[in-house]
Amino acid sequence: MHNDNQTTLNEPDAKPVLNASDPEPASDSDVDQPMNPLWLILITIVAGLPASAPLAGAIAVRCGYRKLGWVCGILLTVCGTLALLLAVFWGVEWYWTALSLVAFHIVCGSGLCLLLRKPHRAFRENHPIPPGKRGGYRQIITGMIGGALVSLLLGMVGMILYVLLFDRFFSTMMPVTFGDGFAAYKVFTGVLFLILSGAIAGGFIGRTRPMIAPGQILFYGFGLLWAYLTWSFALEIFIAIPGFQAGAATGSGWQSLISPTLLGHALVGFWWIVFLMFYVSAPRAGLKRFGRAAQLIGVNLAAGLTLSICFGYSADMFLATGRYLEREALTDKAVRFYEIGLKKEPQPWIASYLQYRVALANHRLGDREKAIHGFRKVVAKYTANNELVTKSNRFLDNLERSADKKRVVLAGVDTRTEYKDGYCVPNSLALAMRYWGADDTARSIGRQITGLGSGTFIVNQSWYAEQAGFRHDFLPMASLEDIKQCIDAGFPVLVYVPAHAFAIVGYDEALETFVTYDVATYDVWVEYIQKDFIKAWKKQSTTLVLAYPPEKESLIPDQIRSRLKRLSDNYLHYQLHYFDAPENSISVPHLVKAAGDNGEFFFPLTILYSNFPGLRKQISQNYDSELVASSIYTYFEDNFDEAIHQAGQYHDDRVSESDWNLKYSIQYLVGLQKFDMVEELLTRIDEKGQISPAMQSQMGMIHLARGEFEPGIDQLITHNESGNSFYAGLANLKIGNTQAAIRQLSEAISGCT
């Protein structure tokens, strides 16, 4: 019997006839093809089971194996997440963790591929894909150019928005818009990577989809941008932020962000985000595309964590977590994270820093023996960071010498550091104001008074605090004991060192340190050795600042409060004179006001004396020159030299730089003809530290003023400062050495032309 529904075998073009009740078969244009299981191997290696297991589950479900799909999607995702966490917390060297994790991912990815190969093959046989038109070289090149141009246009807008948003939420964890140049770098590199990836993606599209519609091209462009942004976000969370936090150990600071992110993009990012773009764009239904786009966040976070573990950044993560816990006063938990980080066998500099933090934390917890043992490890075993070795040696000496001395740290001190160039004042002022309950942040303060990269005028700092309802008082010529008394009274103290400001929130008499919040160190609660600090502080007239609510004034110790009333406005006028050139007569009223009635704050007085000779007679009449001279000698005789003492708690005793405060003070003493005092003072400074060639030349001038021509000439010639040849020539004329005088005067004349 003939069956009308049967196809004749010898008619290759015949098609089966369907009953009216049969559903119409879907054409391949209506069927979403599942991903090839081979891709699961690559995805698992790069991002682990948390990324590949849901994709494997989706393949299984699409192929009709619903139960298998749910098992893969849920159970393996949980197992993969636990495996990543185990890899992070496994207390062995990072390279063993990395090798084990890679091997585990290869096995799991291969297993998933083998498990789903047959279901996928059966699905493809039932839903064959007809061969499509392929593009030639012209379409490939056109696609590459088009992909690069679309990526350029979308990338510029996308990267600017990304940098702004990332800065808004993460600028207290790492520099994002640290400065204009750094922000431009992030935008430029992001657009560059997008252009290159867009060209690769465009070439594939030109080859496989030569007849693609313009709207579809735009969709691919947005898919590529989204893949790149989520990938960049994952790299910054798991590599850049911990890497920057570890920059305190390596000394590289924000520059530690550059190489790891470039490495991640170069090794993985180029092809990875292109793959993810095609993955997001594969479904035909818009809802599925949005679902896959959302899925990219988890996929890339898993990939970022996997890459971080495999490239040895797990120790950096423990370091960053420990620093966060220390900021939250969870010191005991911070120690545990530092110790796990040490077990990861990090780079020598980071290991040295981790051990140093462990020793300091144990000291803060009151465990003297563990602290001593920890510092000895820094000195004997973890020796890569010479600065930390030196500090640890000094701390060991101090601990053994003073076992029972107190440590005072203000409770409730907290602020979120805004990592921007020139933001030392906003960060420090925000700490002080928030300590007293204000809501001001470093970001809100900086927007009003700070130039990015150019810093803050001190007068603007004072203005901001006062308009916010705070008192903002300056105390120049303060002492270390004044700082301690303010801490004991419950006041955080702001201090100035060359081109920088930071906060002091405690002190440690056993270690002989101040506990500081100093953003220039990129570190947390830095122990600043007092003998080092005062050398930098003296270059800024040992000024301390108190920002506090007016009702708290009675808590300030009496002798400090009375000096604040006398000297705070004086110091403010001293700062105002810098708005004019020091030699400009407009600055004179500010300097006169700053000098006060008795010259107690002598720095403005010495500037007036040196830069305005016409006022010298008036200065001599109005001020007790003996008292001023004595104050100058007392200030400079101890804990002062002209070595390098800069921001970031950086000290270099090998070289010197001229100090203007000392120069003006010496000129004042010379004007009073106090030659013996000048010689004694400069000799004392020279014996205890560095002294600049300018001050050495000043010693030669003292010899000439006394008629001691030969030693004076030797000093002037040895330290060949500007003008020395002229005075040496005149001195040689005095002693009849005409030939030398002519030579030196000729040098002076040639130096003027």
What is the DSSP code string of 289-312?
HHHHHHHHHHHHHHHHHHHHHHTT
Which of 100, 126, 152 is the C-terminal boundary of a domain? 126
Residue 497 is which amino acid?
A: V
Q: What tokens were used for 150? A: 């679309």
Please give the C-alpha separations between residue 422 and each of 391, 571, 648, in angstroms, as whole numbers.
Answer: 27, 22, 13
pLDDT band at residue 28, thresholds of 50, 70 and 90? Answer: very low
Residue 380 structural domain: 315-404
Give yes or no for residue 216 having a pLDDT over 90. no
490 Cβ neighbours under 8 A, 6+ residues apart: 410, 555
Domain count, the chain: 4
- Has residue 44 been placed in a domain? yes
pLDDT tens digit sequence for 462-503: 999 999 999 999 999 999 999 999 999 999 999 999 989 999
Give yes or no for residue 129 having a pLDDT over 70. no
CATH classification of the domain holding 492: 3.90.70.10
Cα angle 580-586-588, degrees, rounded to a multiple of 5: 100
Cα angle 9-10-14, degrees, rounded to a multiple of 5: 70
pLDDT tens digit sequence for 155-165: 999 999 988 88
Task: Report which of 107, 263, 246, 236 is spatially closest to residue 176, judged by C-alpha positions.
Answer: 236
Neighbouring-strand partners of residue 502: 495
Which of 520, 546, 579 is the C-terminal boundary of a domain? 579
pLDDT tens digit sequence for 539-585: 999 999 999 999 999 999 999 999 999 999 999 999 988 776 555 66
- CB of 15 within 8 A of CB of 7? yes
pTM of the predicted structure, to 2 decimals: 0.78
Neighbouring-strand partners of residue 650: 646
Neighbouring-strand partners of residue 548: 471
Residue 2 is which amino acid?
A: H
Q: Quick one: pLDDT at residue 486?
A: 97
Q: What tokens were used for 496? A: 């100035």
Place of tokens 């720095």: 603
Which of 547, 579, 611 is the C-terminal boundary of a domain? 579
Give yes or no for residue 315 having a pLDDT over 60. yes
Q: What tokens were used for 189? A: 């590199």
Q: Quick one: pLDDT at residue 1?
A: 42
Say yes or no: 65 and 150 in one domain: no
Say yes or no: 122 and 142 in one domain: no
CA distance 206 to 138: 8
Output 508 or 183, whichever has higher pLDDT.
508
- Has residue 527 been placed in a domain? yes
Q: Quick one: pLDDT at residue 17?
A: 41
Q: What is the 3-state secondary structure (H, E, C) of 149-183?
A: HHHHHHHHHHHHHHHHHHHHHHCCCCCCCCCHHHH
- Has residue 604 been placed in a domain? no
CATH classification of the domain holding 384: 1.25.40.10
CA distance 682 to 666: 9
Say yes or no: 447 and 383 in one domain: no
- CB of 80 within 8 A of CB of 53? yes
CA distance 328 to 334: 10
Name the 3-class secondary structure at 506: strand
Say yes or no: 121 and 142 in one domain: no
Whole-number average pLDDT of the chain: 85
> How many C-beta atoms surround the C-beta of residue 269 within 10 A?
23
The kind and range of the H/E element at 721 are none
Say yes or no: 70 and 209 in one domain: no
Average pLDDT estimate for 601-613:
92
- Has residue 15 been placed in a domain? no
- Has residue 300 been placed in a domain? no
Q: Quick one: pLDDT at residue 23?
A: 39
Say yes or no: 109 and 159 in one domain: no
Please give the C-alpha separations between residue 644 and each of 389, 544, 640, 655, in angstroms, as whole numbers.
Answer: 20, 21, 11, 7
Neighbouring-strand partners of residue 87: none
Q: What tokens were used for 598? A: 């008795």
- Has residue 131 been placed in a domain? no
Average pLDDT estimate for 457-461:
91
- Has residue 614 been placed in a domain? no
Say yes or no: 192 and 86 in one domain: no
Say yes or no: 525 and 437 in one domain: yes
CA distance 230 to 232: 5
Say yes or no: 382 and 486 in one domain: no
Say yes or no: 397 and 541 in one domain: no
Give yes or no for residue 247 having a pLDDT over 50. yes
Cα angle 188-190-193, degrees, rounded to a multiple of 5: 110
Say yes or no: 148 and 83 in one domain: no
Say yes or no: 235 and 145 in one domain: yes
Name the 3-class secondary structure at 24: coil
Q: What tokens were used for 552? A: 């708290």
- Has residue 143 been placed in a domain? yes
Query: What share of the chain in percent tops pLDDT 90?
Result: 45
